[in-house]
Structure 1
């Protein structure tokens, strides 16, 4: 019962989120999967590590395809996404914690920047901050 209520809440959150909030959810999801991949790596659970890294890579691919090709910021963001994706591939192939941590750092920076953008937009629209 509680799980069904949680699922309903999650579905409602996604269905009512703005595009900016959906992007933030993707960043948060990618970081959650990286955390799980790191834990699996420490526990030598290679199958779980592989699944979590692939989930993170899927999110990065989604973020990449949502970039507007003609936007100037795309030229700055795309290489960082590509680098994070490559780091995750290397982390998976070589079981390399350093590589996964490099990808994590990039995603943390993107997430934190995105949170600040949303916050500033809410302040601009409503004249006050809203906690994310």
Structure 2
């Protein structure tokens, strides 16, 4: 539940409740990218506890993206499923091996997929990409 004393939290809750399905997917990508970058930065600082927490949050988002796939629709969903599973594996590995380079590779994969989805959603009726405002 949003803290009514925190205007940012109220804004974020409203943004999520009123977002289109496409915007929600992009927000998930934004969160996974942000947490993966934060995990890599925490690794560089040798802050193992924070890096672990950020990796877990990124993994949870990738899992959410994977769980929302409808595998009955065909090859694209199946391929995304494999990509998401690989990302989760590499996030776990980066966390266990304290490897910011591997985390960076996952982040680049997430950024490429986010960019592709942004193009797909921008072509759907009634959608406007709000660069920078999603997941800020």
TM-score > 0.5, shorter chain as reference:
yes
**Alignment match, 1:68:** 70
**Alignment match, 1:13:** 15
Matches for 1:72-111 after TM superposition, within 5 Å: 72=74, 73-111=76-114
SS at match of 1:70: helix
What whole-Å deviation, never above 9, does each CA across 1:14-60 have from its counterpart, x for those lacking one? 00011111111000001110111111011000000000000000001
Please give the alpha-carbon distance, in whole angstroms, between the structure 2 residues aligned to 1:105 and 1:61. Answer: 17
**Alignment match, 1:26:** 28
TM-score after normalising by structure 2? 0.87
Name the CA shift for 1:18/1:131 in 2 (closer, same or farther; >3 Å): closer
Please give the alpha-carbon distance, in whole angstroms, between the structure 1 residues aligned to 2:72 and 2:129. Answer: 32
What is the aligned residue count? 127
Q: Larger RCO: Structure 1 or Structure 2 (Cα < 8 Å, ≥ 6 residues apart)?
A: 2
- Computed over aligned residues only, the root mean square deviation of the Cα atoms, in angstroms, reads 1.8
Gaps of 5+ in 1: none
* Alpha-carbon offset, residue 13 of structure 1: 0.2
* Structure 1 moving runs of 4+ over 6 Å: none
